[in-house]
Amino acid sequence: MAEAPLCGLQDEFTCSVCLDTLTDPVTILCGHSFCLKCLTDCWDQTQECSCPQCKHTFTTRPELNSNILLNEVIKKLKKMTLSSPPPKNYAGPGDVECDFCTGKKFTAVKSCLTCMASYCQTHLQPHYEGSAWKGHKLVGPDGNLKEKLCVEHQKSLEIFCKTDDSCICMMCVVTGHNGYKMVELETEREDKEKQLGATLRDIKKGLEEREKTLKEMRRAMNEMKVSGIGRQHFTSKRGEI
């Protein structure tokens, strides 16, 4: 019976750097635990040593010692979940992967058209909490973000040039479309949708009118057939007399 609650705590044994189960776990003074290699790599790349999760900064680089108790618990957890299917939040075939996960990729929950990247729930949090990401445009997971980049400048396509009838980036506006007639891409999309809607309504109306005309023709033909049969029957009766 101990297996069920322990499996429910699997996220508690996940390294927030690689987003995988802790390997050779170390616990630092702020209480957070990481893989020894993940934390060592993080600190080797910067002069300031801070917790990757809570950002607590240490004046001197702490000595990293393995958390023996935590390591034993994780080993037991791995044995109990060895035959279990992988978590549903791992990206599978057809899923959009998070661009910032290392190791096993988690499924993206949102794509950012400003950053031109996709994020899992964990890596998406700064977009909701940080002022630097305020105003970024989030959409559903999109696996074709590269198609929304300008081929020449590798910037997001935000403008529609009516003169050239093409989607361009802000760099294109500055370098080659000065004086051209342009609108925001979203505005052009809305206009196109309105035009398409009007066209579809016209087509539907035309089909309804044709259907009405066809029904009237069928009714007239049926009436002519009935009338012809009546006249033939009347002529036949007169001949018998």
What pLDDT, on the 0 to 100 scale, is given for residue 173? 87
Mean pLDDT of 156-181: 85
pLDDT at residue 86 greater than cutoff 60: no
Angstrom distances, CA of residue 83 to CA of 91, 188, 222, 235: 19, 52, 72, 91
Element at 192 (helix H, strand E): helix 185-240
Among 4-13, 51-60, 161-170, name the one with the lowest average pLDDT. 4-13
pLDDT at residue 175 greater than cutoff 50: yes
What pLDDT, on the 0 to 100 scale, is given for residue 203? 93
What pLDDT, on the 0 to 100 scale, is given for residue 210? 92
Domain assignment present for residue 17? The answer is yes
pLDDT at residue 5 greater than cutoff 50: no
Residues 81 and 69: beta-carbon distance below 8 Å: no
Domain assignment present for residue 118? The answer is no
Among 39-43, 69-73, 182-186, 228-232, name the one with the lowest average pLDDT. 228-232
DSSP annotation of 90 reads B
112 burial type by CB count under 10 A (0-12 exposed, 13-18 middle, 19+ buried): buried
pLDDT at residue 227 greater than cutoff 90: no
Domain assignment present for residue 63? The answer is yes
Q: What is the C-alpha separation between 52 and 39, in angstroms, rounded?
A: 8
89 or 237: which leads in pLDDT:
89
Residue 52 backbone phi and psi in degrees, to 5: -65, -15
For residue 25, give its domain range.
Answer: 3-80
| Pairing status of strand 182-184 against strand 159-161 | antiparallel
Count of the separate structural domains present in the chain = 1
Domain assignment present for residue 23? The answer is yes
Angular region, 103: left φ>0, alpha ψ -120 to 50, beta rest: left
Residue 33 sits in a domain whose CATH number is 3.30.40.10
Residue carrying structure tokens 């035309």: 206
Domain assignment present for residue 47? The answer is yes
Question: Rounded mean pLDDT of the chain?
Answer: 82
Q: What is the C-alpha separation between 119 and 24, in angstroms, rounded?
A: 27
Domain assignment present for residue 18? The answer is yes
Residues 79 and 87: beta-carbon distance below 8 Å: no
What pLDDT, on the 0 to 100 scale, is given for residue 209? 92
What pLDDT, on the 0 to 100 scale, is given for residue 147? 79
Domain assignment present for residue 44? The answer is yes
pLDDT at residue 2 greater than cutoff 50: no
CA 51 to chain centre: 30
What pLDDT, on the 0 to 100 scale, is given for residue 3? 39
pLDDT at residue 35 greater than cutoff 70: yes
Structure tokens given for 56: 């607590």
pTM here is: 0.39
Residues 69 and 87: beta-carbon distance below 8 Å: no
Confidence band for 16, pLDDT divided at 50, 70 and 90: confident
Domain assignment present for residue 50? The answer is yes
Mean pLDDT of 181-206: 88
Go through 145-184 and write b for each residue having 16 or more CB atoms within 10 A of its CB, e for each that does not.
beebebeeeeebbbbbbeeeeebbbeebeeeebeeeebee
15 burial type by CB count under 10 A (0-12 exposed, 13-18 middle, 19+ buried): buried
Q: What is the C-alpha separation between 153 and 155, in angstroms, rounded?
A: 5
Among 18-22, 63-67, 96-100, 168-172, name the one with the lowest average pLDDT. 18-22
Q: What is the C-alpha separation between 236 and 47, in angstroms, rounded?
A: 113
